[in-house]
Amino acid sequence: MTRLLVHHARHGFEPNVSVEKLTSLLADPEILLWLDLHRPTPEEIALLHQAFDFHPLAVEDVVHASQRPKIEKYEGYLFIVLYAVSSLGASEGLRPKEVALFVGPNYLVTVHPDEVPVVGEVAALWQASDQASVHNITWLLYLLLDAIVDDYFPAVDTLADRTDELEDRILAEEETDALQAIFELKRTLLTLRRIIAPERDVVNMLMRHEHTFIDARYLAYLQDVYDHLARLTDSIDVFRDILASALDAHLSVVSNRLNQVMKTLTALSAMLMTSGLVAAIYGMNFRRMPELEWTYGYPFALLLMLGIVVALGLFFYRKGWL
């Protein structure tokens, strides 16, 4: 699907502009346009070569998705790769959606193979911007960056809630599949960090390196996006440390539980060994054992074994070993 938004410096937004007019629109210095390509066709990919003359390597990165977040500077434009995420449900996993950006003096081109709701939201937000900012490529870029980054916070908050809940269940010894849950959360946090940390570097390069079409008046806005990414990175690192502590706590709980089982089994073994000792004594083949010929010898032996077992059981119980 193709979405083309065109803003004229004097006349405002122009409705229903055909993609066929791209070449003439790009040549007009009073035009600022945003071309959004969702699941681009081969013809739309060819448009990136023909109308914009983008570098083949950049276009190849668009065609072959799953690039790491990055920023590359070409002659007259920037190529940026970002990832958008949606808020997670109760058991939903993280599904990052790649968004490639071509940023030029008077245009923004976004390409994404998956549906990215935030793109449509930013398009509406841009059209509602005040006249002082709407015709500025840096402002449009900021709106998109800020919206993508803001969507990380609900996802991180959900992961934080899952981490706290898992930790509580481990300490309450209610979690049976703690190892699997811990490693799933750690894998999700690692995936998110691999996205956010490079994106922080991308925004930093936008601020620190001079680009002719990046308006210095909006650097404070980019700094705000950078601060959000830095805070998210710190939060993820904290949650990973909490999960490491939760793993140690789980292993400690399992070890204590195993020690308790071994303690109980050892106590039971000692109790059975004493009764076995009585049976072994009376099982010896000596000719003269008075109790063997005694009328009450058999019940006496049973009561003796039972008495020893009960006495040891009470002793172990008072010691807290049972």
**Do 287 and 237 lie in a common domain?**
no
**Do 69 and 103 lie in a common domain?**
yes
Torsion of CA 311, 315, 317, 322, to 10 degrees: -90
**Do 181 and 293 lie in a common domain?**
no
**Do 218 and 297 lie in a common domain?**
no
Taking the C-alpha atoms of residue 197 and residue 63, their distance in angstroms, rounded to an integer, is 24
Among the residues of the chain, which ranges form H helices?
Answer: 22-27, 42-50, 56-63, 117-127, 131-134, 137-150, 152-171, 178-208, 219-281, 290-293, 297-318
**Do 196 and 260 lie in a common domain?**
no
Residues 281-299: pLDDT tens digits?
777 766 677 766 677 777 7
Residues 195-211: pLDDT tens digits?
999 999 999 999 887 77
Residues 115-127: pLDDT tens digits?
999 999 999 999 8
Task: Supply the pLDDT for residue 261.
Answer: 81
**Do 172 and 261 lie in a common domain?**
no
**Do 293 and 211 lie in a common domain?**
no
Number of domains forming the structure of the chain: 2
The enclosing domain of 82 has a CATH number of 3.30.460.20
Taking the C-alpha atoms of residue 176 and residue 174, their distance in angstroms, rounded to an integer, is 6
The number of C-alpha atoms within 13 Å of 184 and in the hemisphere containing its C-beta is 13
Domain that holds residue 74: 2-253
Mean pLDDT computed over 129-152: 89
Model pTM? 0.78
Task: Supply the pLDDT for residue 88.
Answer: 63
